[in-house]
Amino acid sequence: MLMSQVQPSTVLDDVPRSRWPRHIAIIMDGNGRWAQRRELPRLEGHRRGVDSVRKTTEECTRLGIEQLTLYCLSSENWKRPQQEIDFLMHLLEQYMIEERTTIMDNNLRVRMIGRRADIPDQVLRELDQTVEMSSTNTGMWLNLAINYGSRAELVDAMQAMGEKIAVGELSADEIDEQTISAHLYTAGADDPDLLVRTAGEMRISNFLLWQISYAELWVTEKCWPDFNEATLHDAIRSFAARDRKFGGLKK
């Protein structure tokens, strides 16, 4: 039986489905710290983090979450040692190849958000193949933020709109929130309801700054390799207990 056909776990049966998040975004932090605390190479933390990606993706699919966005590689991460960057690119390429069966079995639709520049050609080829293979699926969207920075995303959106204004396809008066959203990497996607960050860090780190305007924030002290199904359930339960007023008053 495909994971997408399995009924949600009873651990959340007491939480009204209407109060669950539809779109969860996660800043996956703490791989290096997880490894260092165990006197392991930092690269081992990244390797173990892939297991958490798999567990979280499959559990979100099983629960019927509509979208999951994972912060895989920020545009600032290129400042890290070359050995670590090369390893991260290897992991990404390997993930794109080895997880295709899981992606198809779970009916996932894969999308990349971020700039393609600087990503090695062989990684882009495997990524594009996986995106194409999953394009006719109908299940959860798995959005992978790779070489992503929210400020860069906004710059790219402004430039795209500027180019349209220059050739008469758009006027400045027509630009509103919907127009800007339509020119972001996430065009067509609903904004996240819940933003999760691991490793206890209390910052956004240039992630989805426009899209998380009204997202609920949930931070766990667990480093990403320790993030599991139970942690995900805790985040959903916390989200469900909050009153979301979107700037208005509670009725």
Alpha-carbon distance 130 to 186, whole Å?
18
Alpha-carbon distance 136 to 50, whole Å?
25
- Please report, as a single letter, which amino acid is at residue 237: R
Taking the CA of residue 146 as centre, how many other CA atoms within 13 Å lie in the half-sphere pointing to its CB? 22
> Is residue 128 annotated as part of the catalytic site, yes or no?
no
The structure tokens listed for 148 are: 């992503």
Alpha-carbon distance 145 to 90, whole Å?
16
Coil, helix or strand for 146? strand
> Is residue 243 annotated as part of the catalytic site, yes or no?
no
Alpha-carbon distance 68 to 80, whole Å?
26
Query: Across-strand partners of 26?
Result: 70, 196
Out of 14, 29, 105, 121, pick the active-site residue.
29
From residue 32, how far is each of 7, 41, 47, 78 by CA, in Å?
35, 8, 10, 15
Coil, helix or strand for 71? strand
Out of 14, 31, 51, 77, pick the active-site residue.
77
- Please report, as a single letter, which amino acid is at residue 208: L
- Please report, as a single letter, which amino acid is at residue 244: R
Alpha-carbon distance 99 to 108, whole Å?
11
Strand 141-148 relative to strand 194-197, pairing:
unpaired
Contact 192, 25 (CB under 8 A): yes
**What is the set of active-site residues?**
29, 77
